[in-house]
Chain A
Amino acid sequence: MTVNTSQESIMTCSSLGLYYGQVQAVKDVSFKLSSGVVSALIGPSGCGKSTLLRSFNRMNDFVEGFRLEGTIQFKGQDIYASGYDPVFLRAQVGMVFQKPNPFPNSIFKNITWGPKINGFRGDQQALVQSSLEKVGLWSEVKDRLHKPAYQLSGGQQQRLCIARTIAMQPEVILMDEPCSALDPQSTARVEELILELKKEYCILMVTHNMQQAKRVSDQTLFMYEGTLVEHRPTRELFDSPKADLTKKYLSGVFG
């Protein structure tokens, strides 16, 4: 069930099992992620895709009772090894959430906070400008950089969150249903942005919108009840799914 990638993989997981207490949310999942590739995680609700995504930047550490089997490696190192610093991991593996969650500060501070605490000493104005330009927000907000971020619309806030993430210059960007709280117009803009971003970053995106996966991703991973059922280049998975479950899901037998 693996896909051949000629590039070197940045993040891999092998034989991954994820548990909340006694309940197993993810069973025996293995795959690789590489730079320049957008991978989409699709599947019905409750199949474990968000759990899987969050384990890649150790956000599940905050859930009581969370347990992991197998390994996840970032740049060759096991991120759950006992000496590995999760803070450092999160500075290199960024995350965009389902509901836009800007800090209750100015747009400027939203972007500069992460880099500053991680040791950034360069030109903050330039950093803010370049991050906002990359997400296409600069022209819209350049006159109100020091106004509260909450004054932006939902779509703008989500793009700001993406700008905040790329200001950290991560190697990998994890996206947890980034467009599900947005209107169709903002969704289209974010999708355009993802296609731009993939040139520089490795992106893993959870989505429950199959069309979105088709539009945006290079590879698709289909999960069902915690297992990775199929993992193929997007075109192939959608045009000629191999597994029966995949066929059923794609044709809407279950949602």
Chain B
Amino acid sequence: MTGERRKPHPKTSWKLKNSSKSSWWSMIESVLFNAVRISGCSTILITALIIFILAVESYGFFSEVHLFSFLFGTQWTPLFEPKSFGVLPIFFGTMMIAVASAVIAIPIGVCVAVYFNEYASQSFRSIAKPILEILAGIPSVVYGYIAIAYISPGIRHFFPEASPFNALSGSIVVAVMVLPMIASLSEDALAALPRSLREAGYASGATRLEVVSGILLPAAASGIMASFILAISRAIGETMAVTLAAGATPKMGVDYLDSIQTMTAYIVQVSLGDVAQGTVQYKTLFAVALVLFSLTLSLNLVAGYIEKKWRVEI
């Protein structure tokens, strides 16, 4: 190596242009930049639109129907005479399904999560987890069909007095639908616990059950409880399965062997029918949807709050 400075090869040297971006490129840049900024607001816009639409149309509805008779009325017959707009029957229908499916799915889901985390071998997990994902991915209509075609007849076999459409079959399929959600969220909550916590428990001479129930589940409680609430929220918003399975008869009872109607099923019923725009029947769509939206939104917010604020710092 000599002390001379080597001359740069003509083909591989280049000069940095002062304004190194051509005007064509900077136009593309600003287009992309603004496109991103506008798109970024899309999600906010969607939420705003939903709230705006539901609020405005519901306002129109409530100028014709008194708010109290809507919220506390026990007769829901907006589509036939005599018209009555008390939302409680379909609200009860929704809650019946949500509560029953939660009661079925929560214990099973937590047990599955515990088994996956504490007991299962890698090979078991590699089969069982995809199965849960498949269960979660099956569309709602399919579950509705299964409820009508197989579960309802099964129920009627044991309870001949049950009607062909009943809340129990709806609850069972919704339970199967929310089970994977509970299992995977609870499992995430358990897996996030540090290994040292488990070791501390075992080293104190405790059985697996004692470590799980005394230390792990309480420590993961915030995530697990959040998963319960999200599952209930999902069950409330469930549409096709309950439309097919649970019926179209709004009622005030708690008879699971009888047909009911949920809020979501009502919305489907109205949109399949011939309801003219602008009529009060048409506006019931929005009022019911507002109730639905408020309910699920509040539950989701509560779940998020519980998950954050009740989390045990480790």
Tell whether any CB of A sits under 8 Å from a CB of B in the complex: yes
Report chain B residues within 8 Å CB of A95.
199, 203
Q: Mark A96-123, 1 if CB is under 8 A from B, else 0.
A: 0101011110000000011001100000
How many angstroms between the C-alpha atoms of A104 and B215 in the bound complex? Answer: 8
B312 and chain A: residue at smallest CB distance: A104
- CB neighbours (8 Å) of A164 from chain B are 200, 204
Residues of chain A with a CB closer than 8 A to B122's CB: 64
A64 touches B121 (CB 8 A): yes
Binary A-proximity of B290-314 (CB < 8 A = 1, otherwise 0): 0000000000000000000000111
Complex Cα gap A88–B218 (Å)? 24
Q: Are B202 and A62 in contact (CB under 8 A)?
A: yes
What is the chain B residue whose CB lies nearest that of A61?
Answer: B202
For the complex formed, measure the closest distance between the CB of B221 and the CB atoms of chain A, giving whole angstroms.
Answer: 10
Chain B contacts of A168 at CB under 8 A? 204-205
- For the complex, give the distance between the alpha carbons of A161 and B218 in Å: 19
| A-contacting 9-mer, from B100-108, B135-143, B151-159, B206-214 | B206-214
**B202 proximity list for chain A (CB < 8 A):** 59, 62, 90
Asked if B205 and A102 make an inter-chain contact with CB atoms under 8 angstroms apart, the answer reads: no
A-B contact count (CB 8 A): 68
User: Which residues from chain B contact A62 at a C-beta distance below 8 Å?
Assistant: 198, 202
Contacts A64-B121, A104-B219, A113-B214 known; A161 to B200 CB distance under 8 Å? yes
Query: Does B50 sit at the interface, judged by CB under 8 A?
Result: no
Q: How many residues of B contact A (CB 8 A)?
A: 23
Q: Is B196 an interface residue (CB 8 A)?
A: yes
Known contacts A103-B215, A104-B219, A117-B214, A90 near B200 by CB under 8 Å: no
* B124 CB to nearest chain A CB (Å): 12
> B208 CB to closest chain A CB, in angstroms?
9
Closest to A117 in B: B210
Bound complex: CA A59 to CA B198 (Å): 11
Select from chain A the residue with minimum beta-carbon distance to B213.
Answer: A117
* Chain B: minimal CB distance from A233 (Å): 29
Identity of the chain A residue whose Cβ is nearest the Cβ of B197 in the assembled complex: A101
What separation, in Å, do the CA atoms of A54 and B218 have in the docked complex?
26
B164 interfacial by beta-carbon distance below 8 Å: no
Interface core residue of A114, A161, A164 (most chain B CB under 10 Å)? A114
Contact with B along A145-176 (1 / 0, CB 8 A): 00000100000000001001100100000000
Are B204 and A101 in contact, with the CB atoms below 8 A? no
A81 at the interface (CB under 8 A from B): no
Any B CB within 8 A of the CB of A3: no
CA distance A101 to B313 in the complex (A): 13
Which residue of B has the minimal Cβ distance to A57?
A: B203
Q: Does A91 contact B (CB under 8 A)?
A: yes
| Contacting pair B199 A97 (CB below 8 A) | yes
Do A114 and B199 touch across chains, with their CB atoms under 8 A apart? no
**Scoring B residues 209 to 243 as 1 if CB is less than 8 Å from chain A, else 0, what string do you get?**
01000110011000000000000000000000000
Which of B206, B219, B312 lies in contact with A117, CB distance below 8 A? B206
| Chain A positions 59-86 with a Cβ under 8 Å from a chain B Cβ | 59, 62, 64
Interface residues of B in 164-219 (CB under 8 A from A): 194, 196-207, 210, 214-215, 218-219
- Asked whether A87 is an interface residue with its Cβ less than 8 Å from the other chain, the reply is yes
Is A94 in the interface zone, CB < 8 Å from B? yes
Min CB distance B166 to A, Å, is 44
Q: CA–CA, A103 to B204, complex, Å? A: 11
CB-CB < 8 A to B218: which residues of A? 104
A88 to B204, CA, bound (A): 10
Partner of B205, one of A88, A101, A161: A88
> Measured between C-beta atoms, what is the minimum distance from A60 to chain B in Å?
11
Contacts of A114 in B (CB 8 A): 204-206
Which residues from A are CB-within-8-Å of B313?
104, 150
Bound together, the chains give a CA A92 to CA B210 distance in angstroms of 17
Contact present for A101 and B200 (CB under 8 Å): yes
Q: Bound complex: CA of A216 vs CA of B87, how far in Å?
A: 76
Also in contact, A102 and B204, with CB within 8 A (given A117-B210, A150-B313)? no
CA distance A102 to B314 in the complex (A): 9
**What A residues does B206 contact at CB under 8 A?**
87, 90, 114, 117-118
User: Apart from A94-B203, A97-B200, A103-B201, what are 11 other A-B pairs with CB-CB below 8 Å?
Assistant: A59-B199, A64-B122, A87-B206, A90-B206, A101-B199, A114-B205, A117-B206, A117-B214, A150-B314, A164-B204, A168-B205
- The 12 sampled A-B contact pairs (Cβ below 8 Å) are A59-B199, A59-B203, A90-B205, A90-B206, A91-B205, A97-B200, A99-B196, A103-B200, A103-B215, A104-B313, A150-B314, A161-B200
The 5 A-B pairs of least Cβ separation, nearest first, read A91-B205, A114-B204, A101-B196, A95-B203, A90-B205
